[in-house]
Each structure stands twice: as structure tokens, then as C-alpha cells.
Chain A
Amino acid sequence: MGKIEWAMWANEQSLAAGLIYATGGIVGVAGQFRGWQFAAFGIAAGVFVCLLEYPRSKRRKGTSVERTGQYCFTVCVKAFGPLTRNYYVRAFLHAALCVPGGFMLATVLGCVCLGIASLIYLSAAIHGEHWEPILPRTEQPKSVGNSIKEPPQNPPPRPPPELRRKKVDKLETAVYDNPMSVTINE
């Protein structure tokens, strides 16, 4: 399991945990269970976690796959700078958010799932990962190749005129060869 970016799995797990937390909270509030205040907190925390985790991070290696419509979330999450970039902060935040869920049955599952997500984020942070926004690439203007910037100062080198003249008996081979291959600077 060498090169896994743990944050990718932590992201999926925490998104699922947020949904479960919020669902448990909705059930607790709608059914007016005892301790429904914890359920109400669960809804708020679950929704917050979902919003925070929806934008995927840019992968260190390989192509990153965006979630549909994640650009506006990316912008919001990016605005918090180091708070959202650092995974230690996220691990701690998830751990803190999950604790109140343990006090009520409806939110216990959300609590445990979020706790596991927090642990995976901790692992990601220890491995030095951090969150990078996926931003659309700005179109780079087509740069004109270096070789075409200035017209050449000197004429191209040519062999002396006596050798250039085509000899009648060597007509087929007297093809003019380009001394350099014509390519655009890559």
C-alpha cells in the first residue's frame, strides 16, 4: 500500500460520515427523541462536514477527478487558507465534531464514522499530505517558437557555386537537402 494518498480515502469516508451524521440527526429531530438537541447539532455538523469535504483535493501524482459542480465549493474552502489546507486541523476538527454525536443513539453511527475519517486524516497528515484546490487551467497564449522571433541575420551556409550546379549525369541524386530539420521549438 506504498504510495496511497490517504487523504483520498479520508475524503470519501468523511463525506459518507457527514451524510450519515446528518441523516441520524434528522431522524432524531423529526421523531422528537430524547436528547434531540444532540441530533440538531448532528444535522448542523453533518451538513458542515459535507460542504467542507465535497471539493476533492488535487492529487500529488496522476489526474484528479472533480466532483460535479465542485468549483464554487473549492473557492470557499480555499478562502480559509491554512485552516483547510492542513490535515492535522481537519483531523482534529472531525474528532471534535464527532464527540457530541456519541450522546444520542441516532447520531452514534455518524459519530463513529466521522471518528474513523478523523483517524485516516491524521494518517494523511503524518504522511505530509495537504489539500490543494483543483482550479481550471488558464489557457496559455500560444507562445511563438524561439527560432522565429527574429529574422536570420546571415544567409544559410551553401556549398560554393561550382558544386551547386547540377551535373547532367547525376540528375536524380542532385536534390537539394535541407541541412537542418524544420521543427517548432518544443
Chain B
Amino acid sequence: MGNFAANEGLSIFVILVWLGINVFLFVHFYLAFLVERYYYTRVILGHALSWARAPAACLNFNCMLILLPVCRNLLSFLRGSIQYCSRTAARQLDRNLTFHKLVAYMIALHTAIHIIAHLFNFERFMDSQLMINSSYLPYVLSQIGNNDNRSYLNPIRTNETNPTIVMFTTIAGLTGVVITLALILIITSSMEVIRRSYFEVFWFTHHLFIVFFIGLVLHGVGRIVRGQTIESVKVHKPDECHSRFEDWGKNGTDCPEPVFAGNPPMTWKWVVGPMILYVCERLVRFYRSQQKVVITKVVMHPSKTLELQMKKKGFKMEVGQYVFIKCPSISQLEWHPFTLTSAPEEDHLSVHIRIVGDWTQALYTACGGDKTVVQDAWTLPKVAVDGPFGTASEDVFRYEVVMLVGAGIGVTPFASVLKSVWYKHVQENKNVFTKKIYFYWLCPETQAFEWFADLLQSLERQMMEKDMSDFLSYNIYLTRWKDAEAAHFRVQYEAEDDPITGLKQKTRYGKPNWDNEFSAIATQHPGSKVGVFLCGPTALATALGKQCISHTESGTEFIFNKENF
């Protein structure tokens, strides 16, 4: 329990504050429509009016928030500024996508409440037009404003219609349908199954948010929510006059006819700020994409991994950051994220791309991956790079002892970290705060080792030369193998170099026993903060998170950082 607060405390606090604001807005606006001004509106609608307006206020708040977590350039800038004050606060910004999804669910929930309440409202408005009886207050109220068509209460002006037609002929109704449809399409195409398999469908459908926001701003323009005007309330008190409705406006009464007006649209005040920020964000991305990027080297690795080395003028990065890459010859609109595998000290930037879908396959073909002859530089496609954007790996050097865990392709950010550590220690002679790195790589197939094994081999060689072999302790775990390979491993057991990687440290088989590993590290480094960094599947994240919490005892503190795309 001890480390739970350190690891999760700030997140929980942020979520509670956000929920608290939602509840406050809901209750406040619910009560705001129980006042005198809306007395006659409530005569027709009852509490359904408040039930519709309260979620509307929450929707304003959440639609304001939803654009902010996806302004990644803004977040990157904030992250850079905040991390001088508090590392923990900066780490919260890594969870931007989780927050974006939470806000989206809240928007869906409030939309549902809002629509159901309005269904009742429409029905009640229609009822009061249809019950033609001049001793029936709702009917009388509905007839007000028949002459000038401005001071009316009931937005349904005639009894020869039905709610469906009214919905399609009012601005509020029509925009409501359009934005709800956009929201539903966005949500169904964002389901994890669709998102992980067909990123393009998710990405294109998500742009319906433009329709959503335009509709949202226009939704209140028709001023369909109506209450008594302030001047009218002064001369016509609903409490006193409501029972004398047959005498309104007649000579000698002190109850003139009430005058109604609609509320001005408020949503634009909430969302205009974030909309402008988001437009700026897209402009920044566009500007960055226009900067010239040259591909200097293309390497095709086994297990369908493509390495691209590129140069971009003025590009600065930190370890473990990621970039978005666009290839206009494949698609003008698609940007795909990839972790950088080069170190900041190198003069180029490199990414290792796994070929899994349409876009990556097309990139492979465009870079001449299937040709065996050497390609000329001018045949390589033009690419655009946006970024770099910050991730948890930037924090690696702030810990004295570091545990890096990468599963499969998740090892890519750590390639950058290890290279950078090496450059810092050897070539630049800086005083590096990090004293010991424990590196764990879990891999299901042997071929995936190849490009990373090369890196580890050269590090191993250089560490031995500088007599620093105990700085980096790495453990490679092969989690799946064929029987035929197993026979080969057994035979080669006594060989000096590992049969798979060629490294001095042997590959292990199966999954690591995390309990033992954490205990061993805790015993070896009492009293220090150990940073645990993971790039891998959620199941592993849960397991490691639990281990961090349970092994944090007096002195040794394990702090868990997770990144995922």
C-alpha cells in the first residue's frame, strides 16, 4: 500500500477533482432551473427541464476538456516546463489518452441523459398543444406569442405537427441529431478491436469531431429553452398569477400576459478556447511536416522490421521520445507514431518499424525493401516528421538505479536509452547520475533479436574495454520456442557465447520470476529510488505495478513508469 500513493496518488486526485466539478455543475444547473423565471416552463415540462439542462452544462465542461489532452505539442511544452518543478506532475501528462477516453465516456453518458430528458420535453410540449382546452394552463401557455411569434413559451407553435418533424425543423433538433450521430460513429470506430486492427478507419472517422464541434456551437443558436423575461417577472409574479390564468391581460387585473424569451447560446464560451488551441496544434504539426527530412539509410532486419535513418535540420530529441511520420506518396493524411531508436548524441534520427498493416507494408515497398540491389538516394520516398514528443523514458537518467523492461518490439525506446547512456559515459565523460541499469527483454521469437543484439554486442565489447562490465546487467528471456530449437540450445549449453544472440550473458527461457528479481534488486540497493520502466502489454504492466507496490519497503522505493501507444 505504501507506494500506491506515490505511484497513483496524483492521478486519483485529478480524477476526483474532475468528477467533483462534474457533480457540482450538474447540481448547480439543475437547481438553476428551479427558479421563478422558469415557473411556467416547468408547468409544461416538470423536472424534465432541469434533467435536460444539467447534463447540458456538464457537456459544455467536458467538450471543453476533450480537445486538450490531444494537443500533443502543447503537452510536450508543458511537460518540459513542469518537470523542473515536479517529476510526478509531469508524468501525469503521459496519461493524456486515458483522460481523453474518460472524458469521452462522460460525454456519452451526459448525452444519453440529455436526450432522454428532451424526449420527455418534446412529448410534453406536444401534449400541451394538443389538449385544446382553454381551462388547461399548459394549453393557454402554448398559445402565448401566437401573434408576434417572438414572446412564445412553447417552441412547438402548432398542433398539426409531431415531435419528429419538429425535431428536424428546429436548429437545436437538427444539430442535435447530427452531433449525436457523429458521436456514435466516433465511439464505435474507436473500439479497441477496430483501433488496433484498422488504425485508418479509426483516424478518419474520428475527424467527425469537426462536425461535432460545429454542431455543438450552433446547437443553442435557436434559443429554444425559454423562460420569462426579467421585466415580465417584475410585473407578473408566477406564484400569485398562475391560478388566475383565465384573466391574464384583461382590464383590471394585475397579471399582464407573461412574456417569454430564449436563453442566448452559452456553449461557444466554453469551447472556443480549446478549439483555438487545437487549431494552433494542427498548424504546428503542419509546419513541422513541411520541414525537409532526408532518408540517409534503410536497413531491412529479420522478423519484418524496417529501420529508417533520417536527417532533419534542427531536430532535437531526448531519450525514448517518439515521432509521427507521414509519407505523402502513400497517404496525404496519415501520421503514424514510432519510437525513436537513436540517441540524442547521434547525428541522425532512426526508427525501427514493424511491418504489420497497410501503411507499413507500403512504406516497405516504397523504400525498396523487396529489392536486392542498392537503391539510389533519389528513389527513396519523401517523408515528413512531426515531433519529438515526450514519454516516460526521459526520466530514466533521474534515477540512480533503473529497471528497464521491454516486451518484443517494446524494447525500442530502450535502444535509445542504452545508446545514450553509452555516449554519456564514455565519449562525453559526463557525471551520469544513473549508476546501474537492469535490462529485461522478453521476446517470443529469436529472429527479433538480431538488430538489438548487434547493439548489445557492441555495448558489451566497449564495456569490457573500459572495465565497466557491471554497469549494465541485461537479461534476455525467450518466451516461446520450437522443440527443434530446444534441442540445439541444449547441445550448445556449454559454449561460451550464447547460441542465439552471440552475447556473453546467456539467454534465459520462459518468463522471469519478478518476485526474485525485485527482491534481489531491493537487497542490492537499499535506500534508493529505483525507476521501473516498461514498454509492453497491459498484463505485464499490471504484474509489474503490483510488484513495485509490494516490494517498496523501508528505504527502497520502486516507482513504476509505463508507456504504451
List the A side residues contacting B21 at CB < 8 Å: none
**Distance between Cα atoms of A34 and B188 in the complex (Å):** 31
Identify which of B164, B187, B194, B358 contacts A108 (C-beta below 8 A): B164
- Among B120, B197, B357, find the residue whose CB has the most chain A CB atoms closer than 10 A: B197
List the A side residues contacting B177 at CB < 8 Å: 108-109, 112
Check if B70 is an interface residue, CB within 8 A of chain A: no
Q: Closest chain B residue to A15 by CB distance?
A: B188
A residues 8-43 in Cβ contact with B at 8 Å: 8-9, 12-13, 16-17, 20, 23-24, 27-28, 31, 33-34
**A12 touching B358 in the complex, CB below 8 Å, given contacts A31-B119, A34-B123, A184-B483:** no
**A104 touching B201 in the complex, CB below 8 Å, given contacts A9-B189, A13-B188, A183-B487:** no
List the A side residues contacting B189 at CB < 8 Å: 9, 12
Check if B257 is an interface residue, CB within 8 A of chain A: no
**Distance between Cα atoms of A8 and B192 in the complex (Å):** 11
Shortest distance between the CB of B231 and any CB in chain A (Å): 34
**Distance between Cα atoms of A65 and B164 in the complex (Å):** 39
Check if B115 is an interface residue, CB within 8 A of chain A: yes
**Distance between Cα atoms of A102 and B198 in the complex (Å):** 32
Check if B374 is an interface residue, CB within 8 A of chain A: no
Shortest distance between the CB of A4 and any CB in chain B (Å): 4
A residues 102-132 in Cβ contact with B at 8 Å: 102-106, 108-109, 112-113, 116
**A105 touching B484 in the complex, CB below 8 Å, given contacts A1-B198, A65-B193, A112-B181:** no
List the A side residues contacting B185 at CB < 8 Å: 13, 116
Query: Judging by beta carbons under 8 Å apart, are B201 and A16 in contact?
Result: no
Query: Judging by beta carbons under 8 Å apart, are A8 and B184 in contact?
Result: no
Query: Judging by beta carbons under 8 Å apart, are A8 and B119 in contact?
Result: no
**A102 touching B184 in the complex, CB below 8 Å, given contacts A1-B200, A33-B123:** no
**Distance between Cα atoms of A8 and B191 in the complex (Å):** 10
**Distance between Cα atoms of A31 and B48 in the complex (Å):** 12
Check if A69 is an interface residue, CB within 8 A of chain B: no
Shortest distance between the CB of A1 and any CB in chain B (Å): 5
Q: How many residues of A contact B (CB 8 A)?
A: 37
User: Beta-carbon contacts of B376-397 to A below 8 Å, as 1s and 0s?
Assistant: 0000000000000000000000
Query: Judging by beta carbons under 8 Å apart, are B484 and A9 in contact?
Result: no
Query: Judging by beta carbons under 8 Å apart, are B358 and A3 in contact?
Result: yes
**A103 touching B483 in the complex, CB below 8 Å, given contacts A9-B201, A27-B119:** no
List the B side residues contacting A24 at CB < 8 Å: 119
The dominant DSSP class at the B interface is: helix
Query: Judging by beta carbons under 8 Å apart, are B116 and A27 in contact?
Result: yes
Q: How many residues of B contact A (CB 8 A)?
A: 34
Identify which of A16, A28, A62, A65 contacts B188 (C-beta below 8 A): A16
A residues 39-68 in Cβ contact with B at 8 Å: 56, 59, 62, 65
List the A side residues contacting B201 at CB < 8 Å: 1, 4, 9
Check if B126 is an interface residue, CB within 8 A of chain A: yes
Shortest distance between the CB of B138 and any CB in chain A (Å): 15
Identify which of A65, A106, A183 contacts B119 (C-beta below 8 A): A106
**Distance between Cα atoms of A34 and B357 in the complex (Å):** 51
Q: Closest chain B residue to A61 by CB distance?
A: B197
Shortest distance between the CB of A107 and any CB in chain B (Å): 10
Check if B167 is an interface residue, CB within 8 A of chain A: yes
Check if B163 is an interface residue, CB within 8 A of chain A: yes
- Among A2, A105, A106, A186, find the residue whose CB has the most chain B CB atoms closer than 10 A: A105
Query: Judging by beta carbons under 8 Å apart, are A12 and B194 in contact?
Result: yes
Check if A182 is an interface residue, CB within 8 A of chain B: yes
**Distance between Cα atoms of A65 and B123 in the complex (Å):** 42
Shortest distance between the CB of A136 and any CB in chain B (Å): 19
List the A side residues contacting B126 at CB < 8 Å: 34
**Distance between Cα atoms of A33 and B119 in the complex (Å):** 9
**Distance between Cα atoms of A12 and B191 in the complex (Å):** 8
Query: Judging by beta carbons under 8 Å apart, are A8 and B193 in contact?
Result: yes
**Distance between Cα atoms of A62 and B123 in the complex (Å):** 48
**A–B Cβ pairs within 8 angstroms, 17 of them:** A3-B198, A3-B358, A8-B198, A12-B189, A12-B194, A20-B184, A23-B116, A27-B119, A31-B119, A31-B123, A62-B197, A102-B164, A103-B164, A105-B162, A108-B177, A116-B181, A116-B185
Additional A-B contacts beyond A31-B123, A105-B123 (13; CB < 8 A): A1-B358, A3-B358, A4-B197, A12-B189, A23-B116, A31-B119, A56-B193, A59-B197, A65-B193, A105-B119, A108-B164, A108-B167, A109-B115
